[in-house]
Each structure stands twice: as structure tokens, then as C-alpha cells.
A and B are shown apart, each in its own frame.
Chain A
């Protein structure tokens, strides 16, 4: 084995994966590119860490029931009971959130296929839902595990369809109550409003949120050539994409699962991006999504995001062109696109161009040390302290992916504090120099080695290792 193989192995594990675990550099060094490509099998068994997690639909169903009980108490004027029930809504969901976030973290820490795992979380961030919206507290992880994880090495169009029909995305972007003004239920409600007299009522109608974010964030990109009219019409196309359960005329469907409600769907042919779609109920929205996945603007948008995530904040244009071409030529076959990324020589330059996000930093630290707290809250504390709580990007755009979003002065100090706390806990059992070799191999510079050698204690050396410029980047 040569030093150069070790360098490529350190890049494969650190830049493409979540950082080397003990022995992983040696395993990857025989064939670093092959080590990555071998992780892209079209089928992969679900990780054992996911065993026992409740389904998103089940969790959402429980949430809706708890919320309905709270509303009923409110309507009955029982403020104390409503307050108590409001607490219970959170109590219903929080254990699911903790279980999902802990499972995600344990998979990332233990995986021998951390390139694939990074891709799972990349797409989860591309199709972001955020748990700071209460209805998503129990379902953000379910979206990842049910819609994204099984399709991360398939075609983009299948991933897209699975995400947009998952109850987590439908509810995060408020589509479940979006009503066609001329639909069976919408027309009736609006006639009542016009002729019913009395106090002004809300007009029943569209909600643009899901339609806009599919176009802007999930497919074409903000410069992808759509207009406000496209957003509004696409929102009409998507009316009826809802969740099951409800009262009266909305009683059909399993509570919390995706449900197409024909009675809410705006009837008629519609034109989106210049193309006319005949009325086909649910099929109308599906047809638009299929066409969106095939648009060159979508290929370009996804290529930019992948190149930015894996190679550089300002993605090299030749790489973007290569990825977009691979996407178009393969009808959006994702493993083909990933292989184009791995096959681009510029992605293997030793000098790192990505500053680790807090999640990258915590994962790679705990992988290098092969430690993970057992208790979920302790396992997840680091993400919160460093400003990247699991599944809480705060907006449908997901977490940002550039150094300038993460390299604030205070953010650096928080990383130092966290490193010291971790090193104090495990430092005596781990040699900092050995951990440096585990994680970075030949990518670690002499200056850093010297600093570790001269440290005042084993735990101080480890804190310095974690905070070294080489380990802060990938």
C-alpha cells in the first residue's frame, strides 16, 4: 500500500463519507473509488437501527387524535383540560422524534457504508421538513426512512413521487386542506359564503405552499423558469393531495396516511409550464411531477447541489455539467449521477474545500473515536449545542451548505467547548495521535502532529486533534 492510496482512502471516507472509523482507511485504501461505488447497490436492507420505529402515518394519526381532543376541550370551554392536552400532544410525539433522531445518528456513526448514508441525509435535507412545525415532530424521520432511504439509489422521479405523497411533506407544506374553489366541497362552501349572509367567512381555496416549494426547491430551482401563474395552477393540480381521517365528508382514509380526496380536487384540464394536463384526479399531479423530474432545469439544480455538498461551496462548472449530463442521459438514474461524481478527478484533490457542518463534525468525531452515548438525549445533545439539531433546519430550504453559514466565531467556540467536553470524557482511553491517524492518515500535517505531541495532557491533545484545521474540513 502506498501513501497515495492512503490519501485517497482518507478522502473517500472523509469527503464522501462521514469520516473514517478505526481500520476503515486500510479497508478503503485497496480501491478507494471501488469502496465508494460498492455502497451504491440498488437494493440495501434497512438498517437494524430502524427496527421498532412506528410508521409516519401511525404517528401522525395519533397526533391528529390528540389535537382533536385538545380542540374539543377548548370548544367546551375547559381551558385547563385543553392546556393539559396540549402538553400531551407533545408527549405523544417527542418519544418518536427522539427514537428517529437517535436511530439516524446511530446509523451514521456505525455504518460501514457512510457514503450511502451521507446521500440519504443529503436527500433528506433536499426534501427538508422541520420539526419546529409541531405537526412534523413525529414524522420528519419517518419521511427519511419510508420515502427517501429506500430510493436513494433509484431514479429521482421515484424519490420525488414518494416524498410528495408522504404525509410528512403534505402536512409540512400545508397541502392537506388546500381546496379547489370549484371542487365538490369548495364550490359548495363558497356558495354558502356568497349567499349565506352573516359574518364574513374564510373563502375556501388553494394553499400555494407545496406547489411553490416543489418547483423552487425540489425540482426546477428558483431560476428554473416558472411563473406565479405556474405556481397557482400547480397548486390547483395538487388539490386533493391530503391525509386520511377527519370528520363528516372528510372521514375517508386511514388517519395520518396519504389520501387523495377527489372531493377537494379542482376539476378540469390545467396548463403548467406551457404543457396542458387533462383532468386525471391524482394522476394529473403525478404527470406534472414526472415531467418536472425530466426537465433540464431539474438536472442542473440537482447537479449544483450535489457538487456543492461533496466538492466545493462554489461548485466547479465542469463537474456540474458532468453531473447534469449524467442525469439527463440516464433519465435521472441517481447511481449513474453518483458514479459521475466519484469518477471526476477534481473531486479527489487532497486540499479540502468543504468546512464541516456541525453534523459532519459530530459524526466524524464519534466515528474516529468509536464512541456513542447510549442514552438518546446524551447522544443528540451535541447537535443541539452546535446549532444543528437533528431534523430541524427551520425551513423547507434545508440546512445551508456553505462554510459562511457555519464558520461564525461563536460557532467555533462552541465546537471547542464540545471537543473539550468529549475529550475530557474519553481522552484517557484514546491516544490523540492514533485517532489522528485513524481519521486523517496522511492528510494530517506536521504542524498538527507537533501540536498534539506537545499537548499538556491526553485529553487536551484529543481536543486539539478534533479542532485541528484538517479535521474541521473535508
Chain B
């Protein structure tokens, strides 16, 4: 039987023979650099004071009351980082990466956004600017565009492409399917049907390319995909992450990917060392471990940035949860990361130290972290960085995030 990739070659061949210009990603020409970069967006505003508890801050236990994560060493206590910060006890794989010096924890960080709407906050996080209605493209797409030619392509893990990866540089999306694979002959006919429709033609082309990659390098044949698509939420995300890792690891695979996960909006019944958020963090920890498993040897060339639109209130609210806040935590993990340190200019948790008296005050611009990764890991030229994050020229990239 003809594989998807063989078919793709035939498809491209016949297209060229007909003199058609085929838009889309050329993964075959993508292997300029070996660096892989994955961004994980946690939608809904992760509570950074639960994920990375500053147990050494004198105000922490009082502000968090029954939700406070205990000090390291106690039952269900934090996993210690540096004697002041810890990781939530659910994050056991990430703590192993810390011990392997592959994790940088960023705390009291934020995008340029200072209001408290999830949806505007996510827009700013993704468009890389300083206002929600800024650029219509995402910073990760612009970073792809700024890479030295020939460029790698971008991969969105999901059916559709989130704003962070939208834009002129070619990207594809992929998610497992429960349905049988489409016959190549029908794809050829659809390609003809879309000959006057540039959008649908481009999407069809991207889909066939990424489908071939998922099948052959990702190990996601139709049967495996059906299993994946059926699993529970965390199992499904783990399978997708592992497949994505293998696709990224392939010699001609994409070099940049985005994954997102929702459900972090913990207004009520958030829980502490155990409970709703603890279960979700355990899922995240396992998904990241699955991604690492899929990347295998390519983990050494990888960096994964885990971020969220904003943080949550320092104090818990009246319903044992937390409301929308400002300063957040972010994680940078990977074999290429110069880890084993917490990047924080800690503002303190006392009421007068907070942003507007209620939120963790942000002291590190998340764009500085992203710029540091783009510059030192993906080797985006300095000039390109200011196009990736417009108006951020005064926000210098954080140095030494990546091993040299």
C-alpha cells in the first residue's frame, strides 16, 4: 500500500509537472538547526503560588490558609528547589528535571498585560505585543519567519492553530483521529477542487504533509490514533505529546510546536497539596514527561516553555479558590536548558508589596525570557527579536538560559 509520504511525493511531483506552485511547509529542507522549541500554554490562569510555592516567604502560609503547600520534608510538602521556593508535590517529573539541572523556574513574571480578562490576557501572551488587539499574528510564527533560511515549520498540536502560531510562516496542525485515513485519490480530487481557493488548498497541503510525518515518524498509524482519540483527557494529551515528541525528533520534522491545555481557572475548590489543581498539575507533569519520552535523544536539543496568561490573587477568596491576578510562574525545561535555578526578583507577598494590593507583583517580563530562548536556542538574530516582540526593544533578552 502506498504510504502517506510516498503519496505526498507523488502529489508534489504531479503538481510540479502541472506547473502548479504548491504552498506549504517543506520539512525536508527544515533541518538547518537541531534546536527544538515547544511552548505549552495553560489557559485559564495557572495559580503560580500553588505550582511554585514560595514557602520561605513569611506571608505565604497566612495568605493561603488551608490551601498553602507545606514546607519541604513534611507530609505532602513542597518539593524543594532552593530553600525558598518549592515545586507543588504533584510535579515529581519536573523535580527530577530540576535535579538534572534541566529546569529553570521563572516566578513573578507577566506579559505586558495588566488587566484581568482571560481572553485579552491570552491575546497579549500570544500576539507578543502590549495590547490585546495588537498584531493578528503570533510571536512564535514571527520567530519562525525570522529564522535563518531554510526555515523549519511550526506545528500546532490540536485541530486548529492558536494565535501564538498564526501568521505568514507556514504551520500545520495535528491531532489524532478516530476515523479511517482518507484515500489519496480523493485528496487529489480535492486538490483540484481547491485550485481556485488558496486557503483550503494550503490547508490540504499542510494536512497531507503533517499526516505523513505523524504516521511514519510519530508512530501514529490509524489504529494508534483511534486509541489515542478515545482515551481520557490526560491519557489523550500524553499520547499526543509523545507523538509530537517523535515528530519533532525526526530529522525532517518541525522544530517548533505549540500545545495548549485548559482548565486552570480555579475560582472555587482549588485544593492544596491534594485536590482539583493538584490533579491537574499531576496531569501536566505526566504530559511533559511523555513529551520528553517522545523526543528521546532529541531532548538534549530541546527547550519547553510552560506559560499562562496571568497569575491569581495572593490571598484565597471566599470560595477556597483564587481570583484573577497578575504575576505568574513559568517553567523552562529541556535538555538544552541551563537549569537548576529560579529566575526571580521576588517582590514579596505582604499587602504593600503586591500589585494593586491583591496580586503578585510582576518583576520579570515574560518576553525577556522568550527572547532569551529565541536568541540563544533558535538563534533568531537580534534584529529579528524586535519584530517578534514589537515595541520591546528595551526589554533585554535574559542571558544564559540555554547551555552552551
Contact = CB atoms under 8 A, between A and B. Distances in A.
Question: Which of A179, A202, A395 neighbours the largest number of chain B CB atoms within 10 Å of its CB?
Answer: A202
Contacts of B197: 469
Contact of B206 (A173, A201, A409): A409
A469 B193 contact: yes
A207 B320 CA distance: 9
B205 to A, nearest CB: 8
Contact of B132 (A173, A179, A222): A222
Contacts of B265: 395
B351 to A, nearest CB: 13
B160 A203 contact: no
A202 B206 CA distance: 51
Given A395-B44, A408-B173, A447 B193 contact: yes
B115 to A, nearest CB: 8
A206 interface: yes
A282 to B, nearest CB: 19
A468 B195 CA distance: 11
Interface string B280-321: 000000000000000000000000000000000001111111
Contacts of A51: none
Contact of B180 (A174, A181, A421): A421
A387 B160 contact: yes
Interface string A202-217: 1111111100100010
B173 to A, nearest CB: 4
Given A410-B207, A472-B200, A207 B267 contact: yes
Nearest to B190: A467
B61 interface: yes
Contacts of B102: none
Given A414-B177, A451-B193, A206 B318 contact: yes
Interface string A191-205: 000000001111111
A447 to B, nearest CB: 6
Given A178-B319, A395-B43, A417 B174 contact: no
Interface in A379-428: 385-387, 394-395, 397, 403-414, 416-418, 420-421
A340 to B, nearest CB: 26
A418 B189 CA distance: 16
B345 interface: no
B260 to A, nearest CB: 10
Contacts of B207: 409-410, 412-413
Contacts of B148: none
A456 interface: yes
B227 interface: no
Contacts of B43: 395
Contacts of B179: 385, 414, 417-418, 420-421
B164 to A, nearest CB: 12
B178 A464 contact: no
Contact of B65 (A132, A203, A394, A413): A203
Contact of A412 (B67, B200, B263, B323): B200
Interface in B99-123: 115-120
Interface string B164-192: 00100000111101111111011101101
A208 B317 contact: yes
B219 interface: no
A186 interface: yes
A409 B119 CA distance: 24
B189 A464 contact: yes
Contacts of A174: 267-268, 319, 321
A407 B323 contact: no
Interface in A188-246: 199-209, 212, 216, 222, 228, 231
Contacts of A173: 267
Contacts of A205: 317-318
A410 B318 contact: no
A55 interface: no
A417 B189 contact: no
A126 to B, nearest CB: 14
Contacts of B203: 407-409, 411-412
Interface residues of A, number: 59
B194 interface: yes
Nearest to B136: A404
B364 interface: no
Question: Which of A385, A387, A409, A456 neighbours the largest number of chain B CB atoms within 10 Å of its CB?
Answer: A409
B204 interface: yes
A208 B324 contact: yes
B302 to A, nearest CB: 22
Given A222-B132, A421-B180, A455 B189 contact: yes
B56 interface: no
Contact of B159 (A132, A202, A228, A408): A408
B364 to A, nearest CB: 23
A208 B323 CA distance: 7
Nearest to B159: A411
Nearest to B178: A385
A448 interface: yes
Contact of A407 (B180, B192, B199): B199
A177 interface: yes
A57 interface: no
A87 B131 CA distance: 44
A3 B313 CA distance: 61
Given A200-B62, A203-B315, A414 B159 contact: yes
B173 A207 contact: no
A362 interface: no
Contacts of B163: 404
B356 interface: yes
B172 A410 contact: yes
A409 B210 CA distance: 9
Contact of A209 (B66, B206, B323, B356): B323
B160 A202 contact: no
A407 B156 CA distance: 12
A48 to B, nearest CB: 32
B160 A405 contact: yes
Contacts of B174: 409-410
B211 interface: yes
Contacts of B115: 222
A340 B180 CA distance: 45
B390 interface: no
Contacts of B196: 447, 469
A204 B316 CA distance: 9
A460 interface: yes
Interface of A: 132, 173-174, 177-179, 181, 186, 199-209, 212, 216, 222, 228, 231, 385-387, 394-395, 397, 403-414, 416-418, 420-421, 447-448, 451, 455-456, 460, 463-464, 467-469, 472
20 contacts: A200-B68, A201-B66, A205-B317, A212-B117, A222-B119, A222-B132, A385-B177, A407-B203, A408-B203, A410-B207, A414-B175, A416-B190, A420-B182, A420-B183, A451-B189, A451-B192, A451-B193, A467-B193, A468-B193, A472-B200
The 8 tightest CB contacts between A and B, nearest first, are A205-B318, A408-B160, A409-B206, A417-B179, A408-B173, A409-B207, A411-B159, A410-B173
Interface of B: 43-44, 61-62, 65-68, 115-120, 132, 156, 158-161, 163, 166, 172-175, 177-183, 185-187, 189-190, 192-197, 199-200, 203-208, 210-211, 262-263, 265, 267-268, 315-321, 323-324, 356
Given A178-B318, A207-B319, A413-B177, 12 more contacts: A177-B268, A200-B68, A205-B317, A222-B117, A385-B179, A386-B159, A407-B160, A409-B172, A409-B174, A410-B172, A411-B203, A412-B203
